[in-house]
Structure 1
Amino acid sequence: MVADWKSRAKAKRDAILNSIPTEWRLSNIPSPEEQKDVTGPYIQQFLTKPEIEITETDAVGIAEKVAAGSWTAVDVTKAFCHRAALAHQLVNCLHEVFFDAAIASAKALDEFYAQHKKTIGPLHGVPVSLKDQFHVKGVETTMGYVGWIGTFEGIREDPRRGKFESEMVRELRNLGAVLYCKTSVPHTLMSGETVNNIIGYTWNPKNRYLCSGGSSGGEGALISLRGSPGGYGTDIGGSIRIPAAFNGLFGIRPTSGRLPYEGMANSMDGQNSVLSVVGPLATSARAVRLLTQTLLSQEPWLHDPLVVDMPWRDAEEQAVREIVKSASSRGQLAFGVLNSDGVVMPQPPIQRAIATVVEALGNAGHKVIEWKPPAHQRLVDIVGKTWIYDGGKDVHDAFALSGEPLSTQIKLSYGDKPIEEYKASQISANNIAKRRFQKEYLDYWNSTAQETGTGRAVDGIIMAVSPYPAARPEKYNYYGYTSVVNGLDYTSVVVPVTTADKSKDRYIDGFTPINDLDKKTFDDYDADLYDGAYASVQIVGRRYTEEKMLAIAEYVGGLIGK
């Protein structure tokens, strides 16, 4: 059995590499000691000038160039296929490569454009990458499990194998997007580090001593290397926001039911207390907006029973733009800032990122107050229980298909074998506790109207995504800053702010950790090792405020030069 899973994993790993054209292969992959940062000039050396121009244009710019006839879909697709191939060789970020099918799709788009002198949709010719949860016809979905190789979600004879597509895939095709690769995930999806027994570890392109985040870590790494202008991940405990933050990207965790999840692979399917949601990551805030708005134009509520009938609301984002134009004090935005959740203090680069955003907003005349909500740890504990309702049976059954071992990161949550499942009465009690906390938090949010001076409660909360700029391998130990948002089911946007600087980012003299977990985070900090890593924040809004929060993300990004 051991030899079998290893040989199957190796065959799959080799197949991924062999699907890359020979002329795009790298003869030498430098070690992190030789080349820590493989973004920017390093990866550019393997590309032509036209390829660099195309791949360093954001999704909005690509859509405009193709619509104007300046670029063809084929040229754009080939450029991103090339850069994605390079990215995978440098950081292990791909699970599936289907470049030939993508180029064929792009040719069909160019033929349509030549004949009709118009695009088939707003994403016409825009390459879009997908986390390896999306089912695409003719393409495998392993979700990082060796036991899923050659199957449909672990079932070998399932008639859907190779034929079925997720609802969002159908919608993206309708919009004119070109699908060309699926990106790496940690097996089970339940980790802030991306590692599995098929491709190994997905490294952070900016600092290859660090992780790319998880569970949409392949998306984060690929987009950071500009091997994709934008793609889609999922988030049940931070899995969009963590990779976005660790890779210097914009991203959004929408409220559940805003974007379609129908027909996607998942872990613990049927656990409905805290739903996984799908959302985009991209190189610019406006690109994230494009990848959100265009999906809503497909009326996904007609095809996914869990999607809310809520078209894109221009008025919500316009209201933000009108506020920031206003000169009156009552016309300014208001934010709460959470410097620490009282459990783990963010490491110095993240502290500085938060302070940078607060200072920029203050200088622009906006109001920032201290955020003093109900204790987050209460909800973090509630959310954590939802991940083991079934005692780990779902994930252990998936590992048992091949006999492969769990990674160290996954063992932290699921151990070596399943435990006792929760009873229905225990699940009900946890759901009641979650709802009561949500109400308590909502009441606190509303109470801030008395403090902001704007006549309304805060527009968003500025806080860390993670205590780390990017975690060191096997050292992602705290998910409280992200999972609390999942428990509240709030909308959250990630804004890249700065990079770690060993000359600036030190703990204050006399810093005393408040508990063992905080001490571990303190002890794990290495200013020299982190130097140059991205440091980002999330800005959290109320439920179903995607338009508003994306407008805020774009505005805040502009204030800090992003």
Structure 2
Amino acid sequence: MVTDWKSLATAKRDAILNSIPENWRLPKIPSAEEQKDVTGPYIQQFLDKKEVEITETDAVGIAEKVAAGTWSAVDVTQAFCHRASLAHQLVNCLHETFFDAALADAKALDTYYAEHKKTKGPLHGVPVSLKDQFHVKNVETTMGYVGWIDTFEGKKGDSRQKTYESEMVRELRELGAVLYCKTSVPHTLMSGETVNNIIEYTWNPKDRYLCSGGSSGGEGALIGLKGSPVGFGTDIGGSIRIPAAFNGLYGIRPSAGRLPYEGMANSMDGQNSVLSVVGPLGTSARSVTFLVKSILSQSPWLYDPLVMEMPWRNDQYQRVWDRVNSPTGELTFGLMRTDGIVNPQPPVARAVEMVVQAVEKAGHKVMDWKPPAHAEGLATTFNTWMYDGGKDVHSAFALSGEPMSQQVKMTYGTEPKPEKTASEIAQNNVAHRQWKKQWMDAWNATASSTNTGQPIDCIIAPLAPYAAARPEKYKWYAYSAFVNGLDYTSVVVPVTYADKSMDKYEEGYKPMNENDQAAYEDYDAEIYDGAHVAIQLIGRRLQEEKMLAIAEYIGQILGKESIP
């Protein structure tokens, strides 16, 4: 039954704000014109010295401090609950808070530590934020849909409502993590901007004229404001990597079947041609590695039927470090400056060149890479999102009668389209597999051009044509989505900041086509000035350990990641 969606959305929006303790409320929220950048000194002014120290320590550092007894889990949790509250007021990044439950869990962890003189697990006392696809006991999951309020995934009276937990939530608790909030998403999850009718728009904390990315945009914004040291998002077309890139973070898109997705809410559940995957975002590369390694220690293949029995392979991780620390340990990188359809905007193009210069200076080889059958592969990937003609997402909107955001309407239109037949799906799957084989063959063929006699180690590429998009202007997903189509491993590495004095199109630049024209017209050097800029490192399927090590190494030679 369709209800008054505006009243429901307003009540939910107010409830999120009212869950923030009164003494953590800001008296005034500045406009973007008044305060473009709310990171760093701006948000620090509302915190005490110890809170700043705690919240500006990465997940690995927090775990070490708590394990040493220097910090209590309660103090750490309190600090991050406070900073997360500030972050939400500034950029609209939270869907749910459960601070009291988090503090109770932290207190129990401190008691355990006092009694046993050891930690419960490697994540003991580390606050972890979650994208609002995770089910957590006594906490609602709306996934940005008004029609999901006070339901279980849109179903009224379902016994699982607020009693059910996703598999990874159980594992994080076993590891000693403290869960305390769930972050905003675009309704449907299918957008590079985070917007819905409940919290409205999630802004980029570094540049509040721009978006925080999507669909894990709340995670990106929250961690970017250091309201969380590390959190989990999901990625079917770039939804971990886009927010990581736009907020100056590291983030990994693992291959399907590596980390547990069991028991999470989702759109288009049952579409298995291109699977959504779950992975962490964090303020340091080593923190992302720490989270992946910790989750794999829980043997998730015993609890999620789609997870492969593949423990953390430290030999593959260590092999990268052995190579780069050896006089003859050259790495070889493919370089994808452009996908040939839409060129990256000037800040992104400069970031790519900065990485190339850094790796060449460090003694590694870079060779040009042109993506095989790029347009054809994109078509087979994008087709998978419309197997049901949009029936799933349109049905979710129909629960409340709420309107679809313009960002999502670009994909799904105003009404469902005809569903694909089994034969049409099979035909697309065949074409998709053939495209994957083209990539495999092309990658293998690079062995004849490297100094090592082995194929390239990974590809340096833009993650998006934009440093971060302006509202309703994220229109080109090809740089991120082709990786999902291939099911390759990809890690985002922050590189620099947009600079209006340096980042300009060449005089007389002529866009290649309508899509490139749109990206060209979107760019405004003044608006983008100061925004985070990142690249992605693309490895082959199931190369998580190798790619995390390379990302850490690239972070080090760029001066973004300290050497342990």
Q: TM-score range by the shorter chain?
A: over 0.9
- Residue aligning to 1:531: 529
CA contact (8 A) 1:271 1:386 kept: yes
Correspondence 1:172 to 2:172: yes
The residue matched to 1:231 in structure 2 has which SS?
A: strand
Shift in Å at residue 373 of structure 1? 2.9
CA contact (8 A) 1:368 1:452 kept: no
- Residue aligning to 2:315: 315
Separation in 2 of the partners of 1:291 and 1:25?
31
In structure 1, give the amino acid aligned to 2:552: E
- Residue aligning to 1:497: 495
The residue matched to 2:367 in structure 1 has which SS?
A: strand
Shift in Å at residue 548 of structure 1? 0.4
The residue matched to 1:468 in structure 2 has which SS?
A: coil
The residue matched to 2:39 in structure 1 has which SS?
A: coil
Counterparts of 1:379-390 in structure 2 under 5 Å? Answer: 379-390=377-388
CA-to-aligned-CA distance 1:138-167 (integer Å, 9 cap, x gap): 000000000000000000111101100000
Separation in 2 of the partners of 1:506 and 1:453?
36
Shift in Å at residue 2 of structure 1? 8.5
In structure 1, give the amino acid aligned to 2:170: R
Separation in 2 of the partners of 1:312 and 1:376?
32
Counterparts of 1:464-483 in structure 2 under 5 Å? Answer: 464-483=462-481
Shift in Å at residue 358 of structure 1? 0.3
Shift in Å at residue 512 of structure 1? 1.3
CA-to-aligned-CA distance 1:376-396 (integer Å, 9 cap, x gap): 221111111100100000000
- Residue aligning to 1:367: 365
Shift in Å at residue 400 of structure 1? 0.3
- Residue aligning to 2:396: 398
The residue matched to 1:129 in structure 2 has which SS?
A: strand
- Residue aligning to 1:137: 137
In structure 2, give the amino acid aligned to 1:393: K
Counterparts of 1:219-298 in structure 2 under 5 Å? Answer: 219-298=219-298
- Residue aligning to 1:196: 196
In structure 1, give the amino acid aligned to 2:474: Y
Shift in Å at residue 510 of structure 1? 2.3
Correspondence 1:75 to 2:90: no
The sequence identity of aligned pairs, in percent, is 70
CA contact (8 A) 2:373 2:435 kept: no
Correspondence 1:59 to 2:62: no
Counterparts of 1:73-152 in structure 2 under 5 Å? Answer: 73-152=73-152
In structure 2, give the amino acid aligned to 1:233: G
Separation in 1 of the partners of 2:330 and 2:285?
21
Separation in 1 of the partners of 2:2 and 2:38?
34
In structure 1, give the amino acid aligned to 2:497: T
Shift in Å at residue 430 of structure 1? 0.6
The residue matched to 2:344 in structure 1 has which SS?
A: coil
Counterparts of 1:349-368 in structure 2 under 5 Å? Answer: 349-368=347-366
Separation in 2 of the partners of 1:520 and 1:161?
43
In structure 2, give the amino acid aligned to 1:343: I
Say which of 443, 446, 467 aligns to 2:444: 446
- Residue aligning to 1:216: 216
CA-to-aligned-CA distance 1:172-230 (integer Å, 9 cap, x gap): 00000000000000000000000000000000000000000000000000000000000
Separation in 1 of the partners of 2:65 and 2:461?
36
- Residue aligning to 1:556: 554
TM value normalised by structure 2: 0.99
In structure 2, give the amino acid aligned to 1:441: W
- Residue aligning to 1:25: 25
What runs of 5+ residues in structure 1 fail to find an aligned partner? none
- Residue aligning to 1:337: 335
CA contact (8 A) 2:2 2:399 kept: no
The residue matched to 2:4 in structure 1 has which SS?
A: helix
- Residue aligning to 1:484: 482
In structure 2, give the amino acid aligned to 1:128: V
- Residue aligning to 1:305: 305
- Residue aligning to 1:38: 38
In structure 1, give the amino acid aligned to 2:425: I
Separation in 2 of the partners of 1:209 and 1:241?
20
CA contact (8 A) 2:130 2:219 kept: yes
Tell which deviates more after alignment, 509-518 or 5-14. Answer: 509-518
CA-to-aligned-CA distance 1:495-535 (integer Å, 9 cap, x gap): 00000000000011222111111011011110011000011
- Residue aligning to 1:418: 416
In structure 1, give the amino acid aligned to 2:445: S
Correspondence 1:50 to 2:50: yes
CA-to-aligned-CA distance 1:359-408 (integer Å, 9 cap, x gap): 00000000000002313221111111100100000000000000000000
What runs of 5+ residues in structure 2 fail to find an aligned partner? none
Shift in Å at residue 51 of structure 1? 0.1
Shift in Å at residue 539 of structure 1? 0.3
Separation in 1 of the partners of 2:350 and 2:495?
9
Separation in 1 of the partners of 2:16 and 2:170?
24
- Residue aligning to 1:511: 509
Separation in 2 of the partners of 1:373 and 1:75?
49
CA-to-aligned-CA distance 1:398-451 (integer Å, 9 cap, x gap): 000000000000100001110100000000011001110001100000110111
Separation in 1 of the partners of 2:190 and 2:3?
26
How many pairs align? 560
- Residue aligning to 2:426: 428
Shift in Å at residue 327 of structure 1? 1.1
CA contact (8 A) 1:127 1:177 kept: yes
CA contact (8 A) 1:250 1:494 kept: yes
TM value normalised by structure 1: 0.99
Separation in 2 of the partners of 1:466 and 1:94?
24
The residue matched to 1:448 in structure 2 has which SS?
A: helix
CA contact (8 A) 2:339 2:371 kept: no
Shift in Å at residue 3 of structure 1? 7.5
Separation in 2 of the partners of 1:204 and 1:13?
19
The residue matched to 2:218 in structure 1 has which SS?
A: helix
- Residue aligning to 1:7: 7
The residue matched to 2:492 in structure 1 has which SS?
A: strand
